[in-house]
Structure 1
């Protein structure tokens, strides 16, 4: 009986040992598979970046090219070809006729759609050509309209503005999901509050690259080796001079450097190499669209808003409503006093600001 019991204990120990070894082998196999996936993903991203780099920004072929009718400011707007709703809202908010009276020209920057994107969005190349014929404000390059080609789109817009908009004093780059008070922007430009030898916008500092494979803004070590991005201006909206834009595009076209996250590359990496200054005007930005809603309520008491720029929160029509408020208040409203600023009196639940795609720096916002 003792012998049988002893043998059973031995077999139990052997079985337990085999189970552990199998579990350990499984763990190592799983880790090895993750490493292989990571390496393969890095390789795919690096090959994509190299292909894009080989097609330098100066060689981008233009499919649709508009004329430039700006005399004071050219407004270039990055827009997804498959989503015309934001473009429509901007056109209805600020018509081409009104912009011309202000000395402003506006152009939407697009790429091309592959067959899957055309099926998904129901937007064909013919539809984009029709849109261009109707409004004359489409600039389209021969690259796919994807996140990984944002830098192409950005540099294409700057280069077109430099080559086609002679005599303008400023270039304003904006994303199409951003709401803007153009009258307030012009007021600051005319009062020389904004320096012409700088990049002016919402300064982003100590930003950390996203290293999570599943994130669409993932940047591998091969794409960007550093642990922190150089200071840059949020791609939401920034203003600069044609001279600065020319320096940036010339350098991009002659340098071997390339990074697909456009605001980091153009207003961060290139800017830093060229020693171009940043002028932070973050006080006129709100990171929450609900503050713009609070701003519009001030019309009843003839009060202006300290915020000129903010996100549309997924509602393209907010651009139209905010423009009506801004135009009315530009002529009829007075500035709020320090204790009555929207940032101090608007009651909303806290939401994380997302001025940049990926990991971001959070500045505290006082919410009552």
Structure 2
């Protein structure tokens, strides 16, 4: 009996130590669970900016974050680098892996036709010029013209801002081009705070855009940012001679869902990732705007904010260069602008004062309307 009591007395402190360890372990698990619950609750956004949203999508809020997204959100896609929707052998024939070594506040992905060397030159020498924190990348497909390909290689060597996918550079392959642009961001420039996808025949009022991003949103980036010109009620084109033709075998719907006019789209990285990941699972159609910003957007339950009033399409008039746009903020030009128009816009806006915020837009619009009455 005495021996038995001694054995129990030896085990007593060990049991107490084990109980303490068990308590600590449970507390750690509880803390991790609480942290996970907090993350889930705050991921949808509780700290909203006061920026006025468009009435068309009145419930949407663009919200801020205090630090850049961690790379872990993109980790799941790394095994699919060679996949691009229905292509299983995708790769970049031209790429600069060091293009995003420096911090990137705004990544501008420009869809450019391979033979648009002059368009790219105009952008480099106008609205892109001398801007720190901005990285511009021109996105091309492959071509069969050996001389033109040689010129593109030289262009890439000089500027380091060209990427080229191994799909043919044709209008029917525009969806591949946009998705390859998204792929570049996710794999090679994933720390960018904001992403602007735009066509090479458009104008960007870059000083005002930067003020909007920094002052109306956040210098550290935002979540849930999805800005474009809103389109709705568009019928699927069944005319075989049209460049927008889509066969009934590829798409049985008569109308597209609401989507973005893809000549410009402004995104936060989390939205870009969700659009990219979802589009990878859809059947390919060549109308990239409808597929990515319509069908994929619907599946992601994303809502875009219409910024038509901040584009040249708002007035449907030629810029008069008479002071009108000093008080009516303009962020983007419009589709199919000529090089001469882009240069003229840039020369005009670079000489004008820049609004610090788009919060003054309503006041400015009221002033313009009162002048016209």
Same fold (TM over 0.5): yes
Distance 1:200 1:146 in 2: 26
**2:279 alignment counterpart:** 252
Where does residue 55 of structure 1 map in the other structure?
Answer: 87
Partner of 2:121: 88
- Please point out which of 97, 101, 109 is paired with 2:139: 109
Distance 1:197 1:291 in 2: 32
User: How far is 1:338 from its partner?
Assistant: 2.5
**Contiguous gaps of at least 5 residues in structure 2:** 1-83
Residue 163 of structure 2, aligned match among 107, 121, 139: 139
- In 1, Cα distance between the equivalents of 2:335 and 2:186? 29
Pair 1:132–1:159, CA change in 2 (3 A): same
Shift of 1:339: 4.9
Contact 1:288 1:313 (C-alpha < 8 Å) held by counterparts? no
The RMSD of aligned alpha carbons is 2.9
Shift in Å at residue 126 of structure 1? 0.7
SS in 2 for 1:329: coil
Runs of 5+ consecutive residues of structure 1 not aligned to the other structure: 1-51, 346-367
The CA deviation string for residues 141-162 of structure 1, in whole angstroms up to 9 with x for no partner, is 0111001110111011111112
Q: CA offsets, 1:260-303, max 9 Å, x none?
A: 21111111111111111111111112238974531x3328xx93
Sort the Cα spacing of 1:204 and 1:70 in 2 relative to 1 into closer, same or farther, 3 A.
Answer: farther
Q: Distance in 2 between matches of 1:288 and 1:312?
A: 13
Q: In structure 2, what is the Cα distance between the partners aligned to 1:60 and 1:107?
A: 18
Partner of 1:326: 349
CA distance in 2, matches of 1:126, 1:292: 38
Please list the CA deviations of residues 203-261 of structure 1 after superposition, one character each: whole Å capped at 9, or x if unmatched.
111111111122121111112110111111111111111111112222233x1422221
The residue aligned with 1:275 is 301
Residue 315 of structure 1 deviates from its aligned partner by 1.8
Which of 326, 332, 342 does residue 309 from structure 1 map onto? Answer: 332
Asked if 1:204 is matched to 2:228, the reply is no
Matched, 1:126 2:150: yes
Task: Give the TM-score normalised by the residue count of structure 1.
Answer: 0.68
Contact 2:141/2:164 (8 A) holds in 1: yes
* SS of alignment partner, residue 139 of structure 2: strand
Q: Distance in 2 between matches of 1:71 and 1:256?
A: 30
Q: Secondary structure at the match of 2:216?
A: coil
Question: Structure 1 CA distance, aligned partners of 2:355 and 2:171?
Answer: 42
Corresponding residue SS for 2:192: coil
Give the match for residue 152 of structure 1: 176
Task: State the match for 2:37 in structure 1.
Answer: none
User: Which segment drifts farther, 158-167 or 125-134?
Assistant: 158-167
Residue 232 (1) aligns with residue 256 (2): no
State the shift of 1:198 in Å: 3.7
Match of 1:47 in 2: none
Number of positions where the alignment pairs a residue of Structure 1 with one of Structure 2: 279
Q: Is the 8 A contact 2:194 2:269 kept in 1?
A: yes
Distance 1:287 1:332, change over 3 A: closer
8 Å contact from structure 1 (residues 210, 217) kept in 2: yes
CA distance in 2: counterparts of 1:136 and 1:245, whole angstroms: 23
> In the superposition, relative to structure 1, how do residues 251 and 95 fare at CA in structure 2: closer, same or farther (>3 Å)?
closer
What's the counterpart of residue 338 of structure 1? 366
SS in 2 for 1:234: strand
Query: Is the Cα–Cα contact under 8 Å of residues 110 and 153 in structure 1 kept in the other structure?
Result: yes
